[in-house]
Amino acid sequence: MTKIVVEEDQEMELTKVDGNLEILDGATVIVSPNVEYLAVSGDLISKGDVVIQGSIVAGGLRHKNGYLEIEGDAKVKEISVSSGKMRNGSKLIVYGNLEGIEAEIDGSLEVEKDFICKDVDIMGSCKIHGEATVEEYEVSGSAKHGKDLKAKEVEVNGSLKASQSVFVEEDFEISGSAKISDTLKAVSVNVGGSFVCSTLTATEVDVGGSVKITRGEIEEKIDVGGSFKCEESLRVPKASCNGSCRFGDNSQVNVLNINGATKVGSDFVFQTIKVNGAFNFDTNASGDTLTINGATQGEGLLKLNEKLSINGALHVDKVEADEVDIAGSFDGEEIKARFIHVSRNSRVKGTLIAEKVIVEDEARVENIIADDVELGEKVKALKVQAKNLNADPSAKYRTE
């Protein structure tokens, strides 16, 4: 095997290298127009700022201390870039397609077209303008993708931005923010900062900052440290959020824990909701249990199989539940339940229909229709229709 050395600041035209090709700082290699690519049977070894005008195929690529620019395609087995003590780091720039098996880059990578590589470890930033197909993908800085990113695992210790979709077979881990214009599909999603995408499909999601998606299908759970907004339908068994929350029409969340205001679209379906803040729904909501420490407002029917507990104001047309506990106020047409409890000093506008109704001291209600009714001290009721009525003497009401 021979070795060809292109000296510093030298310009050389080549068609083929039987052995290693060494290129030193400031040199330029011109791929002969008579060949499709420069074939190097050994390794491409470069140092400093180097330019290759054309495409190249080599056994390996080893570059250090500068910028290596390849003005065409590059196909190599192993890619190694080192920066040494350089302040700004080394950089590999490929203006065509880059294909390899293993890439270890102590610096930055930029590929103008497609990038195919099995194992990728980048200590700096990464920018891929075309499609990227990788398996193990680790980036210590920022990662930007102009088209789809397909990987087995993704770990970025910075931010990630993708102009199209990201498909990950296993884990998607971003320590900073992640912004994906189209779809993210992964098993596990873990983002330390804010997260934005159009369609989210995953088994479990954990985001430290805010989340904004168009639609989502999550198999197990989502935990959000900040606010959460889903413009269209969200389906997830369990969701928790430490900020405000918003879901679109036809969303389904089995268990929802929110430490902030919550707004959902029409026909919201759930099992258990606990909200420490306001809860608003557009038209109709149904579930098992709803516990709200704040105001609740909606239109149509709020239907619960089990219990409704409101510590605040409830404004909705109709309520159907097994048990209703109001500590605050209700403004609507009617509440139907097996048992209704109105706490002390609470205010109710509308009709209460139940087997049993208890109204505590100094509460104000309008109409009651029940088998058994208990009225506490200084309760005021417009009309009470009951089979059995137990009222304090100070209570004021009218019966039929």
Q: Which of 80, 95, 114 is the last residue of a domain?
A: 114
Residue 365 lies in a domain: yes
Residue 270 lies in a domain: no
Are 328 and 344 a contacting pair, CB within 8 Å? no
Lowest-pLDDT range, 31-35, 145-149, 243-247, 317-321?
243-247
Could you tell me the pLDDT band of residue 353, with boundaries at 50, 70 and 90?
very high
Q: Which of 52, 86, 114 is the last residue of a domain?
A: 114
Judge residue 400's burial from the number of C-beta atoms within 10 Å of its C-beta, 0-12 exposed, 13-18 middle, 19 or more buried: exposed
Could you tell me the pLDDT band of residue 1, with boundaries at 50, 70 and 90?
low
Return the higher-pLDDT residue of 8 and 261.
8
CA distances from 205 to 188, 202, 225 (A): 6, 7, 11
Residue in the block written with tokens 């979709």: 165
Residue 280 lies in a domain: no
* Single-letter code of the amino acid located at 323: E
* Mean predicted confidence (pLDDT) in 126-147: 97
Query: 46-63 pLDDT, tens per residue?
Result: 999 999 999 999 999 999
Q: Which of 74, 89, 114 is the last residue of a domain?
A: 114
**pLDDT tops 80 at residue 84:** no
Residue 2 lies in a domain: yes
Are 201 and 184 a contacting pair, CB within 8 Å? yes
Q: Which domain holds residue 20?
A: 1-114
pLDDT, residue 107, reads: 93
Could you tell me the pLDDT band of residue 88, with boundaries at 50, 70 and 90?
confident
| Number of domains observed in the structure of the chain | 2
pLDDT, residue 295, reads: 86
Residue 395 lies in a domain: yes
Give the whole-angstrom CA distance, residue 128 versus residue 150.
12
* Percentage of residues in the chain having pLDDT higher than 70: 99
